[in-house]
Amino acid sequence: MTRVLVPLAILEGESVSPGLTTLLEPVDVTVLGYHELPEQTPPDQARIQYEERATEALEDLVETFRVGGNEADHRLVFTHDREQTIDRVAAETAADAYTIPGASGQIERVLVTLTGNVAVDRICSFVGELIGPREIGVTLFLATDDETGGRELLETAADTLSAREIDVRTEFAVDTSPFEALLEVGIDHDAIVVGERAPSLRSLLFGEEAERIAVESVAPVLVVRNLDETVTAADT
């Protein structure tokens, strides 16, 4: 079963938009409530102080996912390194993707970018499971300097999703800034799916590119994981 990890700074009031909750209905969800601590604060001390309040908030969030019929659970972590925590919990739960929260109401169309060195087959498989037979359209986007190869890649990916009866459009950009082109196309979409790029999910999820996508598009961003990643735990 496809699973998505939803990391939230739970004690800072971070939550999930109604649109993202609906979008995730066909998949299993693990809500990761994390609280990043100053270096000098022991996690056990923070847990004693905040665990009850954080757990109540997480249980409320999990119930909103269960209303849609999917399986949902939660984890609570007090950590000195949120990025490492998210990687570790994603590995433990075998999550297929992470979310970056954003504002969204009803989801009518999702933008899926295939730009760069990403696992196209894995992204298409994830999107197929996420969208399913619902009336949500998908736009496949690719920015490249290889026009012939790019169009072939887009066509193959579109055929894969169309075979699952998903309404698919394609957007192609040549000889332009991939990031700026993505943001321009993204204006008309309610959520964005991107693939993890080597060498690290963390660099995409929290790095400049993903941060800019999430901030400038305002919409929720789903990052399809690279399952070859290995993670070292260092929190509680």
Q: What CATH number does residue 27 fall under?
A: 3.40.50.620
Flag whether 234 is in a domain: no
Position 77: which residue type? V
Flag whether 229 is in a domain: no
pLDDT reading at 86 higher than 80: yes
Q: What is the pTM of this model?
A: 0.87
The span from the CA of 158 to the CA of 194, in Å, is 16
Flag whether 232 is in a domain: no
The span from the CA of 111 to the CA of 216, in Å, is 14
pLDDT reading at 79 higher than 90: yes
Residues in the chain: 236
Q: Do 122 and 85 reside in the same domain of the chain?
A: no
Q: Do 213 and 116 reside in the same domain of the chain?
A: yes
At 154-178, the pLDDT tens digits run 999 999 999 999 999 999 999 888 8
- Please tell me the predicted confidence (pLDDT) of residue 217: 65
The span from the CA of 7 to the CA of 31, in Å, is 6
- Please tell me the predicted confidence (pLDDT) of residue 143: 92
Count of structural domains, the chain: 2
- Please tell me the predicted confidence (pLDDT) of residue 123: 96
- Please tell me the predicted confidence (pLDDT) of residue 200: 44
- Please tell me the predicted confidence (pLDDT) of residue 9: 94
Q: Do 120 and 189 reside in the same domain of the chain?
A: yes
Flag whether 21 is in a domain: yes
- Please tell me the predicted confidence (pLDDT) of residue 210: 60
Using pLDDT thresholds of 50, 70 and 90, give the confidence band for residue 232: very low
Q: Do 17 and 40 reside in the same domain of the chain?
A: yes
Q: Do 176 and 137 reside in the same domain of the chain?
A: yes
Q: Do 183 and 79 reside in the same domain of the chain?
A: no
- Please tell me the predicted confidence (pLDDT) of residue 11: 92
Q: Do 136 and 209 reside in the same domain of the chain?
A: yes
Q: Do 65 and 48 reside in the same domain of the chain?
A: yes
At 13-57, the pLDDT tens digits run 998 999 999 999 999 999 999 999 988 888 888 889 899 999 999
Kindly report the number of other CB atoms within 10 A of residue 188's CB atom.
11
The residue out of 62, 77, 100 marking a domain boundary is 100
Q: Do 85 and 18 reside in the same domain of the chain?
A: yes
pLDDT reading at 209 higher than 70: no
Q: Do 155 and 92 reside in the same domain of the chain?
A: no
Using pLDDT thresholds of 50, 70 and 90, give the confidence band for residue 234: very low
Where b means 16+ CB within 10 Å and e means fewer, 22-57 reads: bbbebbbbbbbbbbbbeeeeeeeebbeebeeebeeb
pLDDT reading at 76 higher than 60: yes
Q: Which residue has the tokens 């102080």?
A: 49
pLDDT reading at 108 higher than 70: yes
Q: Do 215 and 158 reside in the same domain of the chain?
A: yes
Q: With CA atoms as reference, report the closest residue to 110 among 193, 182, 180.
A: 193
Which domain range does residue 58 map to? 3-100
- Please tell me the predicted confidence (pLDDT) of residue 58: 95
